[in-house]
Amino acid sequence: MRWKEQLLTLTPYQPGKSIESVKKQFQLEQIIKLASNENPFGCSNMVLSALQSNLLNMPIYPDGYASSMRDELAAFLQVEPEKLIFGNGSDNLIQIISRALLHPGASTVMATPTFSQYRHNAVIEGAVIKEVPLLNGEHDLHGMLDAMDEKTNVVWLCSPNNPTGTYIPETALLAFLEKVPSSCLVVLDEAYYEYVVADDYYDAISLTSKYPNLIVLRTFSKIYGLASLRVGYGVANPAIIKALEPGREPFNVNSFGQAAALAAIEDQEFVEECKKKNRTGLQQYYDFCHQHGLEYFPSQTNFILIDFKIDGDTVFQYLLERGYIVRSGKALGFPTSVRITVGTTEQNEGLLRILDEFL
């Protein structure tokens, strides 16, 4: 067997410890997982009813074109339905884009640290990877432009960025888009878009009309609370969508995901409520950091990266043994930090109480 050499350099993606495994390992009854930036408030009740009424669709393949969800989302975003592509989570879209454009003769540019899947998929496709360090937690767009060469097919932007929670300012993004050659696809991953509260944040989707080489990725996994159903989407010029579609599995979004996403879009009140509660939760962490003189990046997301100035694994392990699963910054490119998903008020209080004893 001759495997692609680069596959042998990769370890499988490890999204963090599961609740069950931690329960067993430490003989704990209750585990709070604040590690994967899910919505601690669950999902809209409208989603639950939609799922119930769709249960009997189990034996039937889903609508491969996701027509109803497509029309609903297109109307909500005010774009033509042909500008949308759906993925089994936005992870799947990152994979589809990589498969379509990256190969050993191509190069790709991304920030570091950023979301791991851009690099992971680029390695699988054998592309040359150019990683440009963040500057004070933010994308160095000048550096990223400089890193591009004539072989650069894809550049990955993450705004707000995982794991820092910081966002790319509009003027910087526009200047960047003006300079990137039209032969290079710009992927703007906005998985946490709905959590953003910055007044000067922009409508990136409307930019896809002006920049035909821009694709914006979003997901139903975060504020909409559908992480397990795996629904993500991309918005771009129809020519890009047409080129990506053949690489999409025919039934990549199951019928429950489609029905749930459709219902979720209709309940924007739930989204607004979660956004508000998330800000209150973030404030609990900010207050704690101020009290203890801890550094953090101000976040536009539902997670916070806190620098404890000691090995991130130590803080991670301390919390784990007491029933709280978070992410050590060690695996995320910030070795002395820990990334914590904002939970409910009680969950945040519980975790911060334990951290208080630790410090």
∠ CA 66-69-75 to the nearest 5 degrees?
130
Q: Which of residues 251-280 bind ligand PMP (CB under 6 A)?
A: none
28 binds ligand PMP, rule: CB under 6 A: no
Going by their DSSP bridges, the two strands 303-307 and 295-296 should be labelled as antiparallel
Report the nearest approach of ligand PMP to the CB of residue 161 (Å): 7
For the record, the structure tokens of 344 come out as 């409910």
- Cα–Cα distance list, 212 to 85, 180, 208, 243 (Å): 15, 11, 6, 13
For the record, the structure tokens of 194 come out as 């709905």
Binding mask 107-136 for ligand PMP (x = CB under 6 A): --------x---------------------
Structural element, H or E, at residue 290: helix 268-292
Binding mask 302-321 for ligand PMP (x = CB under 6 A): --------------------
194 binds ligand PMP, rule: CB under 6 A: no
Report the nearest approach of ligand PMP to the CB of residue 204 (Å): 14
Residue with tokens 């390992």: 25
Of positions 72, 131, 189, 194, contacts ligand PMP by CB under 6 A = 189
For the record, the structure tokens of 335 come out as 């070795």
213 binds ligand PMP, rule: CB under 6 A: no
**151 residue type, one letter:** K
Q: What is the DSSP letter of 236?
A: E
Of positions 227, 243, 331, 354, contacts ligand PMP by CB under 6 A = 227
Going by their DSSP bridges, the two strands 337-341 and 327-328 should be labelled as antiparallel
90 binds ligand PMP, rule: CB under 6 A: yes
Among residues 90 and 348, whose Cβ is nearest to ligand PMP?
A: 90
Please tell me whether the peptide bond between 250 and the residue prior to it is cis, using omega within 30 degrees of 0. Answer: no
CA–CA gap between residue 195 and residue 65 (Å, rounded): 28
Count of residues that bind ligand PMP according to CB under 6 A: 13
For the record, the structure tokens of 66 come out as 């996701």
221 binds ligand PMP, rule: CB under 6 A: yes
Binding mask 152-181 for ligand PMP (x = CB under 6 A): ------x---x-------------------
Residue with tokens 């669709």: 57
Q: Which of residues 34-73 bind ligand PMP (CB under 6 A)?
A: 37
Among residues 192 and 270, whose Cβ is nearest to ligand PMP?
A: 192
Q: Summarize as ranges the residues that interact with ligand PMP (CB under 6 A).
A: 37, 89-91, 115, 158, 162, 189, 191, 219, 221, 227, 232
